[in-house]
């Protein structure tokens, strides 16, 4: 059975900071899941959702990948190829935050690359910061639950240096979605963020309910980031100036077969 061109994920994201003090917060999220080769079919699923034009909820190709109004597959295939992933024409699904009421910000977007038989072969983590910059981490995926690690290359938080590594834990999405991203340095965990969600049909009723319940949901993601940053700064976390962009726009993550012990990081 062919998956719908467009569906929803409803769940929550949890963030936990371990240095220079411990802090944890969580908030609800709703993500869209879209087949990048069937954008026309996605747009026809509901009058409340549009592609490449204004709408209550929308998806614009220029918000992702090469940031141009062009097909997304060539960019995704090129990035995955750098990680040794060949899809042989399989589907590519993009999980991201929707554009809502002309506003779009996605701290992370997930590009799932499949083989012709539906086996998950690769993943792209497209990361954006609040300064309007973007970077991609890409990895080959060999099974339904994968763990991989990459050198940290991109400035995300003004309270962490661009040093150390990221450890990604990924489950192939079925009716549930799960991803964990941990920031590590010298074997110690500095920060953890995860997303857990359940799949829902992208019906007009579901989109209308989302709009009524959280009319500024996408903008709320940005506001929540700045609000939590203010709280952290007021508690005394040291602010780091924004460095320049990495030389390469893509960082390749490598498989991690075993999970090393997590050490406790001293306050900095």
Q: Predicted confidence band at 179 (pLDDT cuts at 50, 70, 90)? A: very high
Q: Kindly report, residue by residue over 228-248, the tens digit of the pLDDT.
A: 766 776 676 776 778 888 889
Tell me the chain's radius of gyration from C-alpha atoms: 18
The pLDDT value recorded for residue 240 is 79
pLDDT grade, residue 268 (50/70/90)? very low
Least confident range of 48-62, 117-131, 172-186, 217-231: 217-231
The rounded distance, in Å, linking the Cα atoms of 127 and 108 is 5
| pLDDT digit string, tens, across residues 86-97 | 999 999 999 999
| pTM summary value | 0.90
CA nearest neighbour of 42 among 175, 201, 215, 197: 201
- For position 42, what pLDDT does the model report? 98
How large is the average pLDDT for residues 111-130? 96
Residue pair 130/225 in contact by the 8 Å Cβ criterion: yes
**CA nearest 151: which of 194, 184, 189, 192?**
184
Whether residue 260 has pLDDT greater than 80: no
Give residue-wise pLDDT tens across range 63-78. Answer: 999 999 899 999 999 9
Mean pLDDT of the 186-199 span: 94
pLDDT of residue 241: 74
Structure token pair of residue 185: 């340095």
pLDDT-derived band at 125, boundaries 50, 70, 90 = very high
- Give the confidence band of 25 by pLDDT, cuts at 50, 70, 90: confident
Give the span between the Cα atoms of 103 and 32, in whole angstroms: 15
């Amino acid at each position: 059975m062919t998956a719908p061109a467009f569906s929803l994920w409803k769940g929550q994201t949890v963030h936990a900071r371990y240095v220079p003090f411990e802090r944890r917060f969580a908030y609800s999220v709703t993500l869209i899941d879209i087949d990048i080769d069937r954008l026309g079919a996605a747009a026809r699923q509901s009058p409340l959702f549009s592609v490449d034009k204004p709408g209550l909820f929308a998806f614009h190709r220029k918000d992702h990948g090469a940031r141009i109004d062009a097909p997304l597959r060539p960019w995704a295939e090129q990035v995955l190829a750098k990680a040794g992933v060949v899809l042989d024409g399989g589907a590519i699904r993009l999980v991201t935050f929707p554009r809502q009421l002309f506003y779009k910000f996605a701290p992370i977007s997930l590009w799932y690359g499949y083989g012709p038989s539906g086996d998950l072969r690769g993943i792209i983590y497209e990361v954006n910061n609040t300064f309007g910059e973007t970077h991609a981490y890409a990895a080959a995926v060999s099974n339904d639950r994968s763990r991989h690690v990459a050198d940290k290359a991109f400035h995300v938080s003004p309270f962490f240096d661009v040093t150390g590594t990221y450890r990604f834990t990924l489950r192939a999405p079925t009716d549930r979605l799960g991803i964990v991203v941990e920031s590590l340095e010298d074997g110690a965990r500095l920060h953890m963020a995860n997303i857990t969600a359940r799949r829902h049909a992208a019906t007009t009723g579901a989109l209308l309910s989302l709009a009524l319940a959280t009319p500024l949901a996408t903008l709320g993601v940005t506001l929540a980031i700045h609000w939590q940053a203010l709280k952290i700064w007021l508690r005394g976390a040291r602010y780091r100036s924004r460095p320049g962009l990495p030389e390469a726009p893509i960082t390749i993550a490598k498989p991690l077969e075993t999970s090393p012990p997590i050490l406790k990081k001293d306050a900095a």
